[in-house]
Amino acid sequence: MKAKWTIHSVLLAVIIVLLTGCWNSRELQELAIVSAIGIDIVPDSNEYRVTFQVINPATISTTMGGGGSSGNIAPVTIYSGTDHTVFGALRRTSQKVPRQLFFAHSQLLVIGESLAKSGMNELFDLFDRSHEIRLNSTVLVSRGSDAQSTLSLLGPLEKVPAHGIVGRSKITSEIWAENIEVQIIDLIQSLTGVSESVISGIRIIGNAEEAGKLANLEETKLKPYLSMSGIALFKDGKLKKWMDGPEARGTTWIRDEMKGTSINIDCKEIKEGIAVEIILSKTKTSVEFHQGSPIFHIHIQEEGNLTETKCPIDFSKREEIKKLDEELSKVTKKEVTKAINAAQKQKSDIFDFGGILKRTDPKAWKEVEKDWDTLFAKGKVDVQVDAFIRRTGMRMKPYMK
C-alpha cells in the first residue's frame, strides 16, 4: 500500500510540472503586430532599408468592418531601419518601436524596384530560417517607387493597408489575370531550382508624397492609390523586364495559372466588339528535342461565356458560335506567343520548361543543363488552343437589328 502511494505521488509531481504555464509566453500588450514588411536598397550603398507596417491596436475594432480609422489616429504606423542584413535592420528598428515586433501575422512582403533590379538572391535567407515569419506571405514588387512608400499609403475599405493590398492581388489574379499570386516559398523554390522567378508589380498612381496622410481617406476620389501593375520577369535573381497586357496574361496561361479574365474579339467591322469571360482554363506543357533543339508544346483548353456584343450576331446559329470559338483560340494563341517571345529575349525560363525536362528525361537534362539558357532562347514553340463558348447570357439574339 505504501509503495502504491509512493508511485501516485511521483506521478502527481510529474503531472504538476507538465501543467505549468508557457515559459516563453508574451503578453499582447507587449507586442507590435507587423502586418507587412518592405525591403529597399539604400542608394549608393550595400545596405537594406527594412520597413515594418505595424498595426495600431486602438484603431482596429473586431466588431466593426470597413475601412477608415479611429479619430485622427492612423490605423498603422511605419517604422524602418537600415543595416547590411535584413535581420540587422530588424534589430535596429527596435530602437524606435515601444514594443517587441511580432511577425506571425505578417502576410505581405514588398520589394522595392531598385532592389529587385540589383538582385534578390540573398534576400530570403532570414525568411527561410525564421520560425515566426510566414513563408506563405504574398510577395510584390513596388513598381516605380520604393517599398516604404507603398506600405505608407492608406486606402479605403480595409483598415489595415496590407490586407487591402493582399486582397487586391488575389482578386485581380482571379478575374483579370495580368498578375500572379506569388509567395515567399515560391521564390525560394525558383531561386534554388531550374526555373526563373516572376513577381507581380504594384504601383502608386498619383502623388506618392501624399501617401500616409489621413486626409487621403476624406475624399471620394483618392489622390494617390495603389494598383496592380504587370509582372516582373527575373533572370538570375535580377529584374530584367516588366510584362504588361498580353505578355502578362499569356504568362498566366502558360504557367496554368489562368483563373479568369475578359477577352475582346473583333466583331465584323467593329474592332474588339465582343467580350468573352474566361471561366475555365487548363494548360499542359511538355518538352521534346528535335535535331538538337527543344520544342515546347503548349496545349490549352479553355471555356468562356459571351458577356457583351456590339454587333447584331444571331448566336442561336451554331456556325456563329464556332466562329467565335476560333477567334477566341486565335487571341489566346497570340498572347501566349507574345509571352514566350518576351521570355526568350531575356533567356529567362519563367515557365519551368527546364524543370519539366529534368523530371521527364533526367538523362537529356544533364546533357543540356549548362547550355539551357541559350537553348531555351532558340527553342521552337508549338501552341494549340481548344476554346469553347458555353453560354451567351440571357438571350441568344441581340436586341439590336
CA angle 376–377–381, rounded 5-degree value = 70
Question: pLDDT tens, 83-127?
Answer: 999 999 999 998 999 999 999 999 999 999 999 999 999 999 999
Amino acid at 186: D
Q: Sorting pLDDT into bands at 50, 70 and 90, what band is 54?
A: very high
The answer to whether residue 364 scores a pLDDT higher than 50 is yes
Query: To which residue does cell 515546347 refer?
Result: 296
What is the reported pLDDT for 375?
Answer: 97
Question: pLDDT tens, 238-265?
Answer: 999 999 999 999 999 999 999 999 999 9
What is the reported pLDDT for 394?
Answer: 84
Encode 280-305 in three state secondary structure. Answer: EEEEEEEEEEECCEEEEEEEEEEEEE
CB count within 10 Å of CB 69 equals 17
Report CA torsion sign: 189, 253, 146, 73.
negative
Q: Which residue has the higher pLDDT, 223 or 240?
A: 240
Measured between alpha carbons, how far is 50 from 89 in angstroms, rounded to an integer?
6
Amino acid at 333: K
Measured between alpha carbons, how far is 79 from 163 in angstroms, rounded to an integer?
18
Q: Sorting pLDDT into bands at 50, 70 and 90, what band is 21?
A: low
Q: Per the structure block, which three cell numbers stand in for 79?
A: 517604422
Which has the minimum average pLDDT: 3-7, 101-105, 179-183?
3-7
Whether the CB-CB separation of 153 and 99 falls below 8 Å is answered with no
Measured between alpha carbons, how far is 263 from 286 in angstroms, rounded to an integer?
26
Measured between alpha carbons, how far is 51 from 149 in angstroms, rounded to an integer?
10
What is the reported pLDDT for 206?
Answer: 87
pTM value? 0.89
In whole angstroms, how far apart are CA 216 and each of 51, 152, 158, 213, 243? 21, 12, 14, 6, 30
Q: Sorting pLDDT into bands at 50, 70 and 90, what band is 23?
A: low
Query: To which residue does cell 494617390 refer?
Result: 224
What is the reported pLDDT for 308?
Answer: 92
Nearest Cα to 55, choosing from 108, 13, 4? 108
Give strand ranges (E) for 144-244: 198-205, 225-235, 238-243
385 class by beta-carbon count within 10 Å (0-12 exposed, 13-18 middle, 19+ buried):
buried
What is the reported pLDDT for 314?
Answer: 85
Measured between alpha carbons, how far is 219 from 197 in angstroms, rounded to an integer?
38
Q: 289 forms bridges with which residues in the sheet?
A: 294
Looking at every residue in the chain, the average pLDDT score rounds to: 89
Measured between alpha carbons, how far is 192 from 28 in angstroms, rounded to an integer?
37
What is the reported pLDDT for 68?
Answer: 46
